[in-house]
């Protein structure tokens, strides 16, 4: 766990490792507050082929955090303005990895004209994490396809 964290863009073939990380962390921390419909919806969204397709189509980009060559964190951003996924392995949480992934995502997004904010639909579990990172709640809890979330925003300009 003391390995240096290395950040970078997702590489071809890393989709499964990212999917496995997201699934593992989601199952422990987020899924207990979801219905079976929400869990199924989320798991379908995070399948390796789905992550790969979104990246290939150019709609989204994924940044990773690796320790000793293993992916321990990942962020997926859609349209250079919305965080779709942000997960950090349990053993690496509270070490600044999520903060650094967001910082690097902002740097990448800021190269796009008109970039002003990052939004996220945070799970109830993740709201305090995003709040510590500077995000503010913009609406009440929502429910869509079994997914519970709270809209949040980080002004970046």
**Residue owning tokens 């490792």:** 17
With a cut of 80, say whether residue 1 has pLDDT above it.
Answer: no
pLDDT at position 2 is 66
5-89+96-155 CATH: 3.40.630.30
pLDDT at position 6 is 97
SS3 7: strand
Percent of the chain with pLDDT over 70: 99
CA distance 115 to 111: 8
Summarize pLDDT for 38-58 with one digit per residue, the tens. Answer: 999 999 999 999 999 999 988
Domain ranges of the chain: 5-89+96-155
How far is CA 80 from its chain centroid?
13
């Amino acid at each position: 766990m003391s390995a240096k964290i290395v950040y970078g863009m997702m590489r071809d073939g890393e989709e499964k490792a990212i999917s496995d990380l997201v699934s593992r962390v989601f199952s422990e921390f987020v899924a207990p507050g979801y219905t079976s419909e929400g869990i199924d919806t989320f798991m379908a969204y995070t399948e390796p082929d789905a992550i790969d397709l979104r990246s290939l189509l150019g709609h989204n980009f994924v940044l990773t955090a690796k320790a000793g060559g293993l992916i321990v964190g990942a962020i997926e951003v859609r349209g250079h303005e919305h965080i779709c996924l942000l997960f950090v392995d349990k053993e690496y949480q509270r070490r600044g990895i999520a903060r650094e992934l967001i910082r690097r995502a902002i740097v990448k997004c800021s190269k796009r004209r008109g970039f002003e904010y990052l939004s996220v639909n945070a799970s109830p579990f993740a709201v305090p994490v995003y709040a510590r990172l500077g995000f503010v709640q913009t609406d009440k809890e929502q429910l869509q396809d079994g997914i519970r979330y709270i809209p949040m925003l980080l002004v970046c300009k």
